[in-house]
Amino acid sequence: MSNASASLLSRTTCPHCWNTFPPEAVLWVSAHTDLLGDPRLGPEKQQRFLPTRFDLAGYALDARGVRCNELACPRCHLTLPRGLVEVEPFFVSILGAPACGKSFFLAAMTWQLRQELPRLFQVRFQDASPTANQSLNEYEQSLFLNGRRDEVIPLASLIRKTELQGELYDLVMFGSQQVSYPRPFLFALAPTERHPNAAARQQLSRMLCLYDNAGEHFQPGMDSTQTQATRHLGQSRLLLFLFDPTQDPRFRARCSEEVNGAAAPSFAARQEMVLLEAIARIRVLANMPGAAKHPHPLYVIVTKYDVWAKLLGGAFLSEPPWGESRHGIHGLDVERIAAASRQVRELLLDTSPEIVHAAEGFASQVVYFPVSVLGRRPVVDAEKGLWAIKPRNLKPLWCTAPLLYGLSQGLKGLIPRRRDPGDAAAPGRRGGG
Ligand SMILES: Nc1nc2c(ncn2[C@@H]2O[C@H](COP(=O)(O)OP(=O)(O)OP(=O)(O)O)[C@@H](O)[C@H]2O)c(=O)[nH]1
Ligand SMILES: [Mg+2]
Ligand SMILES: [Zn+2]
């Protein structure tokens, strides 16, 4: 990088291969159309290079003197948004069994964050580059801007099962070894000018890095040198384990009347295996000794609340867990979050206790969230017996609560709490957990 840039980090982390490197090492992507061929990415890709010449605005010039715009990782050569050398990444991992609701949850979460963060919390939330989040934007579009929003559409055709290869992955050659990396979804987060801590903009800005894995990637034996789809787990500041009660026979027995109207999943996944496998991978990736507790939070997110709401007394989620605070922006209602967490934990202890034990045996902070992407019970499609809904009727419940709560815990000063006195305090100040 040239010196013309704003203040640079001392090191940053590639969201593709998770290599950490100093900003000086970052490569640029050549712009002249003659400069084709990269040893990692193949003959059709523009060459990557370490620049020696810059223009006055700080952009590198390639071997043909053309101004370049894009940066690339020194290790995997995949492109990086410019913001990544200036603001720290904040990795969030979403994990769970196949069909537990990861892609639906991810799409509902980002769609709603785009609205809630600026409007309620005075936080900017933007795609880090126009191309980075294309697949996620398509998911959001299918759910929330669907051209057929008044038709009853089977849920499985709104967002399809996440594939194990294809457009969600990038292939990189290291010599003769090919490695598949999941494409990250990247968002720039920063307080706006009207945020009470706007002056601490630099400390409170982050690059949010998210991934949409296929559930199969979390199954034992699915992590290898060639398939590094879940290695973000080792960088993760917030682990979101999605548990789908409708795949658990014990849970189904308790809410059979609600769930049995719709086609049941044909398999009953042992979902704690996914969690235990992820825990084992994190221990290796983060070099954690066997007995040590993970220093970052693990949230257990129980999906599809719309079909098991009765087990929590029904109307519990009618309001989102935040409200006006005395800081001029909204604040999180941590008491409601704690109350919901206690209720969900009780229910899990009753029906699937091994999940609670696995989570709490691993992480020092575990919080339980109920969520629903639909916000109302789906109907059963008459022809095929599949769950279906009119896209117009989607009204996600609590889908942003886990991330907002995670940010309020991990980045003090960005998202205040509602009642605690002095909680939008300056960054660096530590509130309670
Ligand atoms: N009732 C209800 N069903 C949901 C909800 N979210 C997802 N589903 C159903 O669960 C199915 C799977 O959801 P996905 O988000 O595709 O699951 P996934 O975890 O991404 O699955 P893989 O991509 O296979 O790993 C969907 O096709 C829906 O039928 C929800 O909030 N409520
Ligand atoms: Mg998926
Ligand atoms: Zn990389």
Q: For residue 412, how many C-alpha atoms fall within 13 Å in the half-sphere facing its CB?
A: 11
- Which residues share a beta bridge with 165? none
Region for 18 from its dihedrals, namely left if φ exceeds 0, alpha if ψ lies in -120 to 50, beta otherwise:
left
pLDDT digits (tens, 9 = 90+) for 85-108: 999 999 999 999 999 999 999 999
- Probe residue for ligand 1, chosen from 103, 111, 379 as the CB with the greatest number of ligand atoms within 8 Å: 103
Distance 417 CA to ligand 2 centre (A): 32
* Residues recorded for the chain: 433
pLDDT at 424: 44
pLDDT at 430: 38
pTM: 0.93
Question: pLDDT band at residue 258, thresholds of 50, 70 and 90?
Answer: low
Minimum-distance ligand 1 atom for the alpha carbon of 160: 16
Question: Residue 402 above 80 pLDDT?
Answer: yes
Question: pLDDT band at residue 68, thresholds of 50, 70 and 90?
Answer: very high
How far is the C-alpha of 274 from the C-alpha of 260, rounded, in Å? 25
Residue nearest to atom 9 of ligand 1 (CA): 101
Residue nearest to atom 10 of ligand 1 (CA): 101
Helix residue ranges, H only, 319-400: 334-351, 353-362
The mean per-residue pLDDT over the stretch 275-288 comes to 93
pLDDT at 428: 40
Structure tokens at 417: 């709490």
Strands 379-380 and 387-389: antiparallel
C-beta of residue 78 within 8 angstroms of C-beta of residue 41? yes
Question: Residue 431 above 60 pLDDT?
Answer: no
Q: Which residues touch 133 (CB under 8 Å, ≥6 apart)?
A: 110, 127, 185, 186, 187
The mean per-residue pLDDT over the stretch 67-84 comes to 96
Ligand 1 pocket list (CB less than 6 A): 96, 98-104, 155-156, 159, 161-162, 214-215, 303-304, 306-307, 372-374, 378, 387
How far is the C-alpha of 303 from the C-alpha of 133, rounded, in Å? 23
pLDDT at 67: 97
pLDDT at 265: 56
- Which residues share a beta bridge with 299? 240, 367
pLDDT at 264: 54
Minimum-distance ligand 1 atom for the alpha carbon of 387: 29
pLDDT digits (tens, 9 = 90+) for 301-353: 999 999 899 888 866 677 899 998 877 899 999 999 999 999 999 999 999 99
SS3 170: strand
Higher pLDDT, 384 or 187: 187
Structure tokens at 433: 């957990």
DSSP string of 174-201, one letter each residue: ETTEEEEEEPPEEEEEEE-TTSTTGGGH
pLDDT at 263: 52
- Probe residue for ligand 1, chosen from 93, 111, 155 as the CB with the greatest number of ligand atoms within 8 Å: 155
pLDDT at 17: 96
pLDDT at 429: 38
pLDDT digits (tens, 9 = 90+) for 102-153: 999 999 999 999 999 999 999 999 999 878 899 999 999 999 999 999 999 9
Structure tokens at 38: 């990269």
**Nearest CA among 159, 161, 169, 165 for reference residue 138:** 159
Region for 209 from its dihedrals, namely left if φ exceeds 0, alpha if ψ lies in -120 to 50, beta otherwise:
beta
**Nearest CA among 240, 189, 191, 188 for reference residue 211:** 240
Minimum-distance ligand 1 atom for the alpha carbon of 262: 1
Residue 328: CB atoms within 10 Å: 12
Question: Residue 10 above 70 pLDDT?
Answer: yes
The mean per-residue pLDDT over the stretch 173-192 comes to 96
Mean pLDDT of the chain: 90
Residue nearest to atom 8 of ligand 1 (CA): 101
pLDDT digits (tens, 9 = 90+) for 359-369: 999 999 999 99
How far is the C-alpha of 211 from the C-alpha of 284, rounded, in Å? 20
Strands 206-210 and 88-96: parallel
What is residue 378's DSSP assignment? Answer: P
